């Protein structure tokens, strides 16, 4: 029997993207850490492709917004690049060329009837701030971020109603300081990672305070990659390890953002191990008093956790979250072969219920979810379209779970797959394509994929038939 899944009225049928992954370097004054990484270690990047041109959104945004409308987007999440908007990083004085670009981009979204959700930081710290101050390890950088945020709110706060401070802030310490797969590529720097998590929470709260003080009419949130941590067995050890992995990787941002406080179990562990970040009571009060209006949640895959054995622990000389739990892939799991990530739609429901039951049912939206596929050209038909049925199935399965949670009262207001059009993805460059719209890097031409045409129907009907 056919059933129609209908979503709440006014639901955001959108897509997610970011400035550093789409715009290209054109007209940009500062280098961010990813730009720098590409300049100094080109071999780290798939096929040597960098962010210098990316998807040329800098020039093509007028036509891109028309395409976004064609695929049914009524909202779109992207970011303002600190390194483009700000001329003087110390004072927060804007760069006229950056102001012009973002103003025009915001106008183009409006003209196409697309609600913009603007994010301020998507892994793209200006490199000078890493060089001079040690990046997010420094509280001076926290203050400079607040200045950047104030400038952005002052310039665009009348035209943009939804703001977010950070995208996946856990990736900065995790990838850059613990596991070494993003610039500055450190491993095992647990103490620094803990300080970074704290400083970014502080930076987010300061930006939220600045937004409220600006008096602009709108809402502000944060985008977190909430990765459910499931124990591999019912044993006490695995359950405990999963709880801590959830604490380190999810609740370290989620709790301060929504509840204004750091999770006690995580603080206890950090204290016991001597890696507690440096904080002041005044800062803790600031975090407590400046929580988010809404949450963006990025979900791709879960974590599977087993308790670390003593032998595992001894592998790491420095402090690592791995001391408490180790990620473990279930042999029987469904894996996206291109990205190596487990496909587990039920986690979408679990996340929604967690936010509903444990975080005051705060308003939230799915700010990323998607399936990256390598070599999509092989699915291209004679008429030029890419028949990405696997992606449609992936979205349907996740939306079904989301719908179930909404029926049960989850306050979810939208779904933004990653991504609108194929874009540059850090060191994976253009390896895995995620877009509703294919981008040909030879001539920057765009073609709507089958999933884009499908999404249009879903958006027009505010749901779909299963």
Enzyme catalytic residues? 168, 368
What are residue 344's phi and psi, to 5 degrees? -145, 85
By C-beta, is 225 or 354 nearer to ligand BGP? 225
**Does residue 302 bind ligand BGP (CB under 6 A)?**
no
Instruction: Answer whether 75's CB lies under 8 Å from 89's CB.
Output: no
Q: Is the Cβ–Cβ distance between 437 and 67 less than 8 Å?
A: yes
| Binding segment toward ligand BGP, per CB under 6 A, in 89-97, 304-312, 385-393, 424-432 | 424-432
Region of 302-310, 351-359, 375-383, 425-433 interacting with ligand BGP (CB under 6 A)? 425-433
Q: Which uninterrupted H or E stretch holds 251?
A: none
What is the footprint of ligand BGP within residues 214-233 (CB under 6 A)?
225
Are residues 423 and 22 in contact, defined by beta-carbon separation less than 8 angstroms? yes
Structure tokens at 441: 């890097």
Pick from 173, 325, 372, 435 the residue near ligand BGP by CB under 6 A.
372
User: Could you tell me the two tokens for 98?
Assistant: 């950056």
Closer Cβ to ligand BGP, 428 or 447, answer by number: 428
Binding of ligand BGP by 428 (CB under 6 A) = yes
Closest to ligand BGP by CB, 179 or 316: 179
- Told to check if 179 binds ligand BGP by CB under 6 A, we report no
Please give the structure tokens belonging to residue 96: 């006229």
What is the 3-state secondary structure of 118-139? EECCCCCCEHHHHHHHCHHHCH
Rounded to whole angstroms, how far apart are CA atoms 425 and 149? 24
Residue of minimal Cβ distance to ligand BGP: 425
425 binds ligand BGP (CB under 6 A): yes
Output the smallest distance, CB 428 to ligand BGP, in A. Answer: 4
With CB under 6 A as the rule, give the number of residues binding ligand BGP. Answer: 13
C-alpha span between 321 and 188 (Å, rounded)? 9
- Alpha helices by DSSP H, 112-188: 127-133, 139-156, 171-173
If binding is defined by CB under 6 A, does position 51 make contact with ligand BGP? no
Instruction: Based on the shown chain and the rule CB under 6 A, indicate whether residue 432 belongs to the binding site for ligand BGP.
Output: yes
35 binds ligand BGP (CB under 6 A): no
Q: Which is nearer to ligand BGP, 135 or 372 (CB)?
A: 372
Check residue 249 and report its DSSP letter.
Answer: I
Which of 77, 232, 339, 416 touches ligand BGP (CB under 6 A)? 339
Q: Is the torsion defined by CA of 306, 310, 312, 316 positive or negative?
A: positive
Binding mask 125-154 for ligand BGP (x = CB under 6 A): ------------------------------
Question: CB 16 → ligand BGP: shortest distance, Å?
Answer: 8
| Cβ atoms of residues 389 and 334 within 8 Å | no
Beta pairing partners, 229: 303
Name the site residues for ligand BGP (rule: CB under 6 A): 18, 21, 167-168, 225, 298, 339, 368, 372, 418, 425, 428, 432
């Amino acid at each position: 029997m056919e059933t129609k899944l209908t979503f709440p009225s006014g639901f955001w049928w959108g897509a997610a993207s970011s400035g550093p992954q789409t715009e290209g370097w054109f007209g940009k004054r500062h280098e961010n850490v990813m730009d720098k990484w590409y300049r100094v270690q080109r071999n780290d990047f798939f096929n040597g492709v960098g962010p210098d041109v990316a998807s040329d959104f800098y020039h093509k945004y007028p036509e891109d917004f028309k395409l976004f409308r064609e695929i049914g987007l009524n909202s779109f999440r992207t970011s303002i690049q600190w390194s483009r908007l700000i001329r003087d990083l110390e004072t927060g004085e804007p760069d006229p060329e950056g102001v012009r670009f973002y103003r025009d981009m915001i106008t183009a979204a409006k003209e196409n009837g697309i609600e913009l959700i603007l994010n301020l930081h998507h892994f793209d710290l200006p490199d000078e701030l890493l060089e001079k101050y040690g990046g997010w390890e420094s509280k001076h950088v926290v203050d400079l971020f607040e200045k950047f945020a104030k400038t952005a709110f002052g310039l665009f706060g009348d035209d943009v109603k939804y703001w977010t401070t950070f995208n996946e802030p856990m990736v900065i310490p995790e990838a850059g300081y613990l596991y070494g797969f993003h610039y500055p590529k450190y491993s095992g720097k647990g103490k620094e990672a803990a300080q970074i998590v704290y400083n970014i929470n502080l930076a987010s709260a300061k930006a939220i305070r600045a937004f409220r003080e600006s008096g602009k009419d709108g809402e502000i949130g944060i985008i977190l990659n909430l990765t459910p941590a499931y124990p591999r067995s019912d044993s006490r050890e695995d359950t405990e390890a999963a709880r801590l992995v959830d604490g380190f990787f999810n609740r370290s941002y989620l709790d301060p953002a929504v509840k204004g406080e750091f999770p006690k179990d995580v603080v206890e562990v950090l204290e016991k191990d001597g890696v507690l970040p440096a904080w002041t009571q005044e800062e803790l009060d600031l975090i407590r008093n400046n929580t988010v209006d809404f949450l963006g949640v990025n979900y791709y895959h879960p974590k599977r956790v087993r308790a670390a054995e003593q032998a595992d622990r001894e592998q790491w000389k420095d402090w690592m979250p791995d001391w408490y739990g180790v990620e473990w892939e279930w042999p029987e799991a469904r894996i996206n072969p291109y990205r190596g990530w487990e496909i587990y739609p039920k986690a979408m429901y679990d996340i929604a219920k967690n936010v509903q039951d444990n975080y005051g049912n705060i308003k939230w939206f799915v700010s990323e979810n998607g399936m990256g596929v390598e070599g999509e050209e092989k699915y291209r038909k004679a008429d030029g379209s890419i028949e990405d049925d696997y992606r449609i199935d992936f979205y349907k399965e996740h939306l079904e779970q989301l719908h179930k949670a909404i029926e049960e009262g989850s306050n979810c207001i939208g779904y933004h797959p990653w991504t609108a059009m194929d874009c540059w993805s850090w060191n994976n460059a253009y390896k895995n394509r995620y877009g509703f719209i294919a981008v040909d890097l030879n001539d920057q031409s765009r073609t709507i994929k089958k999933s884009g045409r499908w999404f249009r129907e879903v958006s027009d009907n505010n749901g779909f038939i299963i």
